[in-house]
Chains A and B, each alone.
Chain A
Amino acid sequence: MTASTTTPSRKGRRFRFNWVDSFLWFIRITAIITIAVGITGSVQHFIAGEGPTLEQWRDLIISSISTGAMYGLIALGYSMVYGILGFINFAHGEVFMSGTMAAIIPATVLFNTGFWDAQPVLSLIIVLITAMITSVLTAVIVEKVAYRPLRGAPRLIPLITSIGVSFFIQYAFAGLFGVAIRSYPPPPGNLTEDIIIFGVPIEGTKILVIIVAILAMIGLWYFVTRTKTGRAMRAVAEDKEIAGLMGINVDRTIVTTFIVGGAMAGVAGLLWALLFRGVDFLTGFLPGIKAFTAAVLGGIGNLPGAMLGGVLLGLFEGVGPILVLDGLDIVGIDIPAVSQLRNAVAFIALVLVLVFRPTGLLGERLGSEDRA
């Protein structure tokens, strides 16, 4: 949203032996070696005809990209709020969950009346709108009740508050909807069938997910760069005080930011319904953290970065365990049930990104108050 800057750091050659940096180098090297060995191993397996086939790899990659696209949409909310208010909105995962949870109601009703399969497009649109409205409402209420009063507070306080809010929403939904996992009906129409694109059969659902994500991104991009409100958002992100002095209604702009972030999360809610179908009150937790990782990976405050980060993270956690960890058996590290560790891979990605490249791949965009 603003000109990219990097935090001023001590550049310059370090002649002195610094064991902190050595430890970090040790981690870097271990990570690189592990990845290299793992990939080599997988390649060896593949050549020998063991392990997943080419088609399986292909499906895996496409799955990962579509999941990643969903993470990217959620990441937008984290990115925007961090860019404007300077803290991690822990509750954003719950904003996402609220949308996808609430939209089960119309989905189930439509399914039971047969409307679901009869009018797939309309049904999905209804689900989408429900999810978006719910997510936006949640986001806006949270901002008004919990974040606005804390506008000037020391940095950690809004973060801690957002943890409390996150908890509250999780268990409020548990109380309202019950703790059992609920399922969306299977995607309507012929979506689960494969569509051939460039000779490659891809499941319709995954294509829809990717298309929807792209459309949402384009819509957002247009909004942020070309509309007056979008400009106001970027100005407030850059410097709240000065933007206010220039006549921008800062409060309203911040609410708009939450609305937009919530809307994107609502779209992600639809995508979750299509990809994973099962929802419960804890659904927001892991995707929330992963989406935040994606946001930092791409560069916090940076919207295209959030999307890129999302897709990359999807690939890391989807393809990573099988590509890297399975391949490690050529050096004797035999890891059974590798997909158990996919969340660990996502978290390890989080740690590695934040330790080694906290400014992200595309550079971070922060307001003047938050630049170190």
Chain B
Amino acid sequence: MKRDLKHIRALGLIAGLSMSFVAGIGMVEKFNIRVLIEPAVTMGYLVLFVMPFVAGSLAARGVPNPLVEPVRDPRANGISGLITGLIAGVFTAIFVLIIDTFDVTEFFPNMRASTVEEMTFGFGLAVGLVVLVLATTVIGGLGGTIFGLPQRVRRGLTTAGGWVLGFALFEVIVSDIFSFADFLLDLIYAPQGGLEIWSAVIIGALAWWLTARYEGRAKEFALTVRDADPKSRIRRSVIWAGILAAILLPMLLGGIVNELLINVSLFILMGLGLNIVIGLAGLLDLGYVAFFAVGAYGTAVLTSTMGSAIGPGWSWWIALPVVMVFAALAGLFVGTPVLRMRGDYLAIVTLGFGEIVRILLLSDWLTPIFGGAQGIRRIPGIPVPFLGTISGTRPELFIYFMMIFVGIAAYISYRAQNSRVGRSWAAMREDEDVAEAIGVSTVNAKLLAFITGAVIASFAGALFSAKVGTVFTNSFDVLVSIIILVVVIVGGMGSIPGVFVGAFVLIGVLGGPKSPGLLQEFAEYKLLIYGALLVFMMLKRPEGLWPSARRSRELHQEEALQDAWLDKAGEFDDDESGEVTS
């Protein structure tokens, strides 16, 4: 079998570089605190060794060639993987050797003795390095070999691995949900955290078996629901079931998870708003956080009696419509100057606006109104008859407010998409000049998009203020705008379910800009991962995780053309004489 050694060498080096990088930023060390499967598999080593594994698989696949199916031969593939692993292992070992020999901690604080310790598995330098190289080689080979196995086996392994990983990583949630079955949890999980090894095996095997048997049926069901007529019974029942689950869930979950869900829903809300601006109308707004700030600070100023010179101390419910009007005006104010701008320029001007707002809120000049660096404190929550004032101190109740507003925003997005307004946005997005020529007022369309996005952001802002009770400007910097952007794009630009998926995956799992997610260890590295994820998605799957049909079509026009041709082969354009003209 022809083996492309250059390709393998490149992959090996890249894997080695990535492994060294991951070790060098201290990720391996920090992640190793979390045990996934007692006793051997810790998260740090998992992240470390996933790289030679993937590299091994890629090496086995060879240089991607759309015309040729890759050769699947476990032995040959395995050998490719081994070579790749070897190169990666040696590279990494050299790296560890270097940082052991030279003290570079002055410049690279994360490349220290404990890092070396971690990378040599506690076996001392000589033995440890050998182990490292061997392990990397073997794992590379494993990656290659698995590539060569038949599809059933590969699918099975992947699913099993996925489920085990899920149970291990999301121990907190699983424990929370099944807190009534404590004995079961004690059985599955080890006392210090992580799965017991045999429970991992059982879960894996179970997952494999279940998927093999029922996956087909499950997929069919999912497709039926998705493609079903929106009014059909099955679709409705699924939706109602989802809504019911959503309503009941907070009562079952503990405070931590509810808190997390509130954060996630804040980003869902803002994501839905930004989705309208970017996904539907095609306006890349990088200063979206400014509208969020208008909502938050507006509510703060109007409802708090402390911290602002003008503090009328109104109820949240009265402040809300006022704040919405402010936000609409802000949307107008931001949208008007950018009406005639090209996409890139629009992006950076909106970024500028966002920063200007933040700087002004922070400034000494406006401290009497906005509290400057101190922010505004003592923001009361949302008053509800019979239940008192609800704020972040009672997350299990506050989350219902989030759900209500998320629902409203989702409804607005959904309706807007298939309406006259939505069509005018889509037309404008496709070709602004032609849309104008067809009678669409791009001025109105753009302003409407900005205003709608701004008002939705102001919902999030008002809720945020009520939840946290104190607002500072550091919750409103560029980072937040960009994170919302990542959520929308990774989830799927223009797709409403995409925003949900993006928010859950990113904010829920990795954590938001100021708050941790499920995987607390990621906190330090989450922004790194956000960046990498964004780049990866743009390169490999720009339509997002749950794409809107239109966007998917747009980005894969060639495939769609082929499909259309294949679907309708034989149904070409005829004229009356029956002659084919297309």
A residues neighboring B (CB under 8 Å): 20, 23-24, 27, 82, 87-88, 104-105, 108, 145-146, 149-150, 153-157, 159-161, 163-172, 174-178, 285, 289, 292, 296, 335-337, 340-341, 343-344, 347-348, 350-351, 354-355, 358, 372
Residue of A nearest to B284 (CB): A156
Other-chain contact of B535, A168, A341, A372 (Cβ < 8 Å): A168
Q: Give Cα A172 to B22, complex, Å.
A: 9
Contact with A along B192-225 (1 / 0, CB 8 A): 0000000000000000000000000000000000
Known: A167-B482, A289-B351, A344-B356. Contact between A296 and B539, CB under 8 A? no
In contact, A350 and B349 (Cβ under 8 angstroms): yes
Contact with A along B319-344 (1 / 0, CB 8 A): 00000000000000000111101111
Known: A88-B347, A108-B107, A160-B489. Contact between A171 and B527, CB under 8 A? yes
State how many angstroms separate the Cβ of B63 from the closest Cβ of chain A.
Answer: 15
Other-chain contact of A161, B26, B356, B539 (Cβ < 8 Å): B539
B94 at the interface (CB under 8 A from A): no
In contact, B539 and A149 (Cβ under 8 angstroms): yes
Nearest 9 CB-CB pairings of A with B: A175-B25, A164-B534, A167-B531, A168-B531, A171-B528, A164-B535, A347-B352, A178-B109, A161-B538
B123 at the interface (CB under 8 A from A): no
Q: Give Cα A157 to B106, complex, Å.
A: 39
Other-chain contact of A164, B284, B360, B538 (Cβ < 8 Å): B538
Given A155-B343, A171-B525, A337-B363: 5 more A-B contacts, CB < 8 Å: A170-B531, A178-B109, A341-B363, A347-B359, A351-B337
State how many angstroms separate the Cβ of A355 from the closest Cβ of chain B.
Answer: 4
Q: From A88, A160, A292, A358, name the one whose CB has the most chain B CB atoms within 10 angstroms.
A: A160
Residues on B with C-beta less than 8 A from A341 are 359, 363, 365
Known: A108-B106, A167-B531. Contact between A344 and B349, CB under 8 A? no
Q: Give Cα A347 to B286, complex, Å.
A: 14
B163 at the interface (CB under 8 A from A): no
Other-chain contact of A20, B107, B339, B342, B352 (Cβ < 8 Å): B339
Known: A150-B539, A159-B347, A164-B532. Contact between A175 and B107, CB under 8 A? no
State how many angstroms separate the Cβ of B472 from the closest Cβ of chain A.
Answer: 16
Q: List 8 A-B contacts (CB under 8 A).
A: A87-B344, A160-B534, A165-B535, A176-B110, A178-B108, A344-B355, A344-B360, A347-B352
In contact, A170 and B349 (Cβ under 8 angstroms): no
State how many angstroms separate the Cβ of B504 from the closest Cβ of chain A.
Answer: 20
In contact, A88 and B538 (Cβ under 8 angstroms): no
Q: Give Cα A153 to B540, complex, Å.
A: 12
In contact, B342 and A340 (Cβ under 8 angstroms): no
B251 at the interface (CB under 8 A from A): no
Q: From A150, A156, A336, name the one whose CB has the most chain B CB atoms within 10 angstroms.
A: A156
B401 at the interface (CB under 8 A from A): no
B443 at the interface (CB under 8 A from A): yes
Q: Give Cα A164 to B482, complex, Å.
A: 9
Contact with A along B346-374 (1 / 0, CB 8 A): 01110111011001101111000000000
B485 at the interface (CB under 8 A from A): yes
In contact, B349 and A167 (Cβ under 8 angstroms): no
Residues on A with C-beta less than 8 A from B338 are 355
Q: Which of B448-474 contact A (CB under 8 A)?
A: none
Q: From B365, B443, B489, B538, name the one whose CB has the most chain A CB atoms within 10 angstroms.
A: B538
Known: A165-B535, A340-B364. Contact between A358 and B528, CB under 8 A? no
B392 at the interface (CB under 8 A from A): no
Q: Give Cα A161 to B542, complex, Å.
A: 10
B24 at the interface (CB under 8 A from A): yes
Q: Give Cα A154 to B349, complex, Å.
A: 20
B170 at the interface (CB under 8 A from A): no
B533 at the interface (CB under 8 A from A): yes
In contact, B355 and A164 (Cβ under 8 angstroms): no
Contact with A along B534-549 (1 / 0, CB 8 A): 1100110010000000
State how many angstroms separate the Cβ of B521 from the closest Cβ of chain A.
Answer: 13
Contact with A along B1-37 (1 / 0, CB 8 A): 0000000000000000000010011110000000000
Q: From B21, B348, B485, name the one whose CB has the most chain A CB atoms within 10 angstroms.
A: B348
Residues on B with C-beta less than 8 A from A24 are 336-337
B565 at the interface (CB under 8 A from A): no
In contact, A347 and B356 (Cβ under 8 angstroms): yes
In contact, B25 and A176 (Cβ under 8 angstroms): yes
In contact, B485 and A340 (Cβ under 8 angstroms): no
Q: Which of B26-71 contact A (CB under 8 A)?
A: 26-27
Residues on A with C-beta less than 8 A from B344 are 82, 87-88, 155-156, 159
Known: A157-B538, A175-B110. Contact between A343 and B485, CB under 8 A? no
Residues on B with C-beta less than 8 A from A343 are 355, 359
Residue of A nearest to B106 (CB): A108
In contact, B365 and A176 (Cβ under 8 angstroms): no
Residues on A with C-beta less than 8 A from B524 are 175
Known: A20-B443, A354-B349. Contact between A167 and B337, CB under 8 A? no
Residues on A with C-beta less than 8 A from B349 are 350-351, 354-355
Residue of A nearest to B534 (CB): A164
Q: Give Cα A172 to B108, complex, Å.
A: 12
Residues on B with C-beta less than 8 A from A167 are 482, 527-528, 530-531, 534
Known: A171-B525, A344-B360. Contact between A350 and B25, CB under 8 A? no
B414 at the interface (CB under 8 A from A): no
Residues on B with C-beta less than 8 A from A175 are 24-27, 110, 524-525, 528
Q: Which of B307-323 contact A (CB under 8 A)?
A: none
In contact, B348 and A350 (Cβ under 8 angstroms): yes
Q: Give Cα A350 to B110, complex, Å.
A: 38
Residues on A with C-beta less than 8 A from B347 are 88, 159
